[in-house]
Structure 1
Amino acid sequence: MEHELRKVGASLDEFVRRGDPKRVAELSRGIADLFVQGAAGFQTRHVELFDHILTGIVPQTELVARADIAERIAAIANAPPTLIGQLAREDDISIAGPVLRRSPVLGEQALVEIARMKGQAHLLAMTERPKLSPDLTDVIVQRGERDVIRRTAAHAGASFSPIGYSALVKRAARDGVLTITVGQRNDLPDRLLKELLVGSVDVVRRRLFDVADPARQAAVAKAMSDLSGKREQPGKQRDFTSAQRTILSLYRAGDLNEAALLGFAKSFRYSETVAALSAISGVPIAAVDRLMAGDRHDPVLIISKAIGLEWPTVRSLVLLRLGPARIPASADIEGIRTNYLRLTPSTAERVVSFWRTRETA
């Protein structure tokens, strides 16, 4: 077979120069078929010979034939490397696409080079590869448009350099879907997670917390609480001494329960409410105060779900946060109630456990 291939190769130039395009395409397909059928048993010298022959003839064939050959050899582990490189650099995505998506022969350097040179269709095809290196994602994040960036951010096999992640976070500031996608990545550093949430709107933050997996929700909750919590200056912290004495008396009498908490909240007795929530949940009082005084309702919903409060009590806590002079719209209250119902106890308990540990540390 090797001798026959060498004879074919020696006469190809003349055949291509004088031959009919259809016959050239048939010959290309025939040689490619021969390679595909025997690829598993070929030695390196055989692959090199096929490579020499096919790189001389395939570029001269019609587009449909080149696309067909690319599709058939793209996933072969020992496909002719020079031919693979030629096909991957084709402008037509029907030819380049199969190779960019699946070829294990296409090296990292070639992928980065193509990513810098070609358009969005080529970048999108690359996002279907099993792994995307930091060098490659650096280029994709820099050059990619919305669909490419979203696909890359959602790719479990993609890795990002610190520079790439910073650029991705900046892109997410203008794209809520991208914010949610990036925020779910377990390899996103906490510093950048907080930066990601700083640039997002409230509804996007809530959605991210809802869809994040349990391992990620604690980090999201921490970033949200850090952003919403208003740490007071040492000289301006509230004095909860009196409230804590009241709660201690209720505890000793066996009356520290949800009904007592509801009574404090409905009466807008902020200090007693915070002290009661702290005692029931086990979260330090300074942390509960910070969360209650923050800009978001989510931490209050999380604590409430963790200790199993009924919705009327949670609603009173929300109204307490707003103050007696503010009456929220019914639609807003209903949205908060829906979020509370969707929040699972197990998730809330994990987050509250995290808050307890962090504050104790």
Structure 2
Amino acid sequence: MAVAPSIPGLDDFVKHGDPKRRSDAARKISELYLAGAAQFRPRHVDLFDGILSGLVPHTEPAARAELAERLSMLGNAPPTLVDLLAREDEIAIAGPLLRRSPVIVEPTLIEIARMRGQNHLLAISERPSVPSGVTDVIVRRGDREVVRRIAGNAGARFSLPGYSSLIRRACDDGVLTLSVGQRADISAPQLKELLTGSADIVRRRLFEVARPDRKAAIGEAMAEISGAPKPSAIRRDFAAAQRAILALHQAGRLNEAALLDFAKAYRCEEAIAALSALSGVQIATIDRVMMRDRADSILILGRASGLKWATVRALIVLRLGPGRAASATDLEEARLNFERLAATTAQRVVNFWQTRQSA
């Protein structure tokens, strides 16, 4: 299929033509290629590639940007031409190809990521698939916006050193922590490392916005960080409370209403023993949950036990003790988090607590 000779004097255009004649030739040949690309075989692509690679760099930037946009959609775009355009300083030209062209190979992406500026890194970060060799460079060289973008790209892959660098950068960037913490490929140790270095408010926000299938893993990591295996600083004697709860049970009066009454009366041992009997969770586990600084664990336990918000709220207030009141803002935030929390997710976290306690 001899398409190139349809433009008379083509060799002369490439070697000696004035800018206008070269631009005209580049436009005509580009249109020929774009119109027939779906039917071209590799030898035809090579023919066009050799011609256009000599013509297109001499055209106006606007023309190169338009051509780059159209070539970025093609799986058989001329590879040498694509390589030339992707390396250009002007992001309007390089950007479309860096974002989505399947023709650009990994070594080229790595080289461009090492040599070019933040706009080029940002464009590469938006590719449907970004290999770990490329993300290593992006995490090392990228500014805050770039690193946030690559962390939020589900198609990006990270090496172990790359992930470690990403987690280190997240220590002082709450937005980045939220993106990294929601990635499906983050391991349990990496998630724990990420949350250990983040602020408490960021941890709570991550748990709130995470997908249901991620909440359990995040809750488990938060439980480990908060010291789930550690014994309570206050040693409680639950013997009398357990006898009182047993008597209620035998009388048929052990229910959520009784638990709510204990919590409102600040009868902590009875409330913990009642909650243990109603939920099937060990007293030691509930005692440990009640003594944590955050209310998140109480929300998890309450949802897993099927409690109403009024009872969970009373347990939060009970944890503070008599004479101390939770702020209206904190209680409203806790209520919203409780309503969003799925019972199945909460139960998985509680099961983890139980396993840890048994161990």
Q: Could you say whether these structures have the same fold, taking a TM-score greater than 0.5 normalized by the shorter chain as the test?
A: yes
Match in the other structure for 1:11: 12
Aligned length: 358
Measured in 2, the distance between the counterparts of 1:354 and 1:8 equals 76
Tell me, in whole angstroms, the C-alpha distance in 2 between the residues paired with 1:45 and 1:6: 19
CA distance in 1, matches of 2:4, 2:333: 76
Query: What amino acid does structure 2 have at the position aligned with 1:73?
Result: L
Over the aligned positions, Cα root-mean-square deviation in angstroms equals 2.4
Aligned to 1:48: 46
| Aligned-pair CA distance for 1:249 | 2.9
Give a deviation string over 1:236-287, Cα, whole Å, max 9, x none. 8544344333323322332221122123222323222222222212222222
Q: Which moved more, 1:184-193 or 1:240-249?
A: 240-249
What residue number does 1:307 align with?
Answer: 305
Residue 28 of structure 1 and its aligned partner are, at CA, apart by 0.7
Tell me the residue number matched to 1:204: 202
Contact in 2 for aligned 1:274/1:289 (Cα 8 Å): yes
Where 1:68 maps in the other structure, the secondary structure is helix
| Higher alpha-carbon deviation: 164-173 or 213-222 | 164-173
Specify the alignment match of 2:82 in structure 1.
84
1:225 aligned residue: 223
1:332 and 1:234, CA in 2 relative to 1: closer, same or farther beyond 3 A?
A: closer
Of 237-246 and 266-275, deviating more is: 237-246
Partner Cα separation in structure 1 for residue 91 and residue 48 of structure 2: 24
Deviations 1:204-249 (A, max 9, x none): 2222112111111001111122222454459985443443333233
Q: Give TM-score, length-normalised by structure 1.
A: 0.90
User: Kindly tell me: are residues 167 and 8 of structure 1, through their superposed partners in 2, closer, same or farther at Cα, counting changes over 3 Å?
Assistant: farther
Q: Map residues 150-299 of structure 1 onto 2, 5 A cutoff.
A: 150-229=148-227, 231-232=229-230, 238-299=236-297
- Alignment map for 1:58-77 (pairs within 5 Å): 58-77=56-75
Of 327, 335, 342, 1:329 maps to 327
Greater displacement, 267-276 / 58-67: 267-276
- 1:323–1:230 distance in 2 versus 1, CA, 3 Å: farther
- The C-alpha deviation readout for 1:287-310, integer Å capped at 9, x for no partner, is 212211111101101211232323
Q: Deviations over 1:16-57 (max 9, x none)?
A: 3xx1x2332121111111111222222222222211111111
Partner amino acid, structure 2, of 1:259: A
Q: Which amino acid aligns with 1:61?
A: T
Verify the 8 A CA contact 1:229 1:290 in the aligned structure 2: no
Q: Look up the SS of the partner of 2:306 in the other structure.
A: coil
1:84 counterpart letter in structure 2: V
Corresponding residue SS for 2:84: helix
- Segments of structure 1 that go 5 or more residues without pairing to the other structure are none
Q: CA deviation at 1:10?
A: 3.0
Contact 2:259 2:271 in 1 (8 A): yes
Q: Which one is further off, 126-135 or 261-270?
A: 261-270
Q: Is the 8 A contact 1:282 1:356 kept in 2?
A: no
CA offsets 1:52-96 (integer angstroms, 9 cap, x no match): 111111112221121122112122112111111111100001110
Q: Deviations over 1:77-135 (max 9, x none)?
A: 12111111111100001110111112111001101111111111111111221111111
> With structure 2 as the length reference, what TM-score do the two structures score?
0.91
Q: Judging changes above 3 Å, is the alpha-carbon distance between structure 1 residues 133 and 238 closer, same or farther for their aligned structure 2 residues?
A: farther
Q: Which amino acid aligns with 2:324?
A: R
Partner Cα distance (2:62, 2:278) in 1: 71
Contact 2:213 2:345 in 1 (8 A): no
Quote how far apart the aligned CAs of 1:325 are: 4.1
- Helix, strand or coil at the partner of 2:294: coil
Q: State the secondary structure of the residue aligned to 2:138.
A: helix
1:31 aligns to 2:29 (yes or no): yes
Distance 1:5 1:51 in 2: 16
CA contact (8 A) 2:75 2:101 kept: yes
**Which amino acid in 2 is paired with 1:221?**
G
Task: Give, as a single letter, the amino acid of the residue that structure 2 aligns with 1:68.
Answer: E
After alignment, is 81-90 or 272-281 more displaced?
A: 272-281
Q: CA deviation at 1:346?
A: 4.4
**Closer, same or farther in 2 for the Cα pair 1:231/1:237, shift >3 Å?**
farther
Q: How far apart are 1:159 and its partner, in Å?
A: 1.1
In 1, the alpha carbon distance for the partners of 2:60 and 2:208 equals: 51
Separation (CA, whole Å) in 1 of partners of 2:132 and 2:37: 32
The 1:229–1:269 alpha-carbon spacing in structure 2 relative to 1, beyond 3 Å, is farther
Instruction: Name the CA distance, whole Å, in 2 between partners of 1:123 and 1:349.
Output: 42
3-state SS of 1:196 partner: helix
The one-letter code sitting in structure 1 at the alignment partner of 2:337 is N
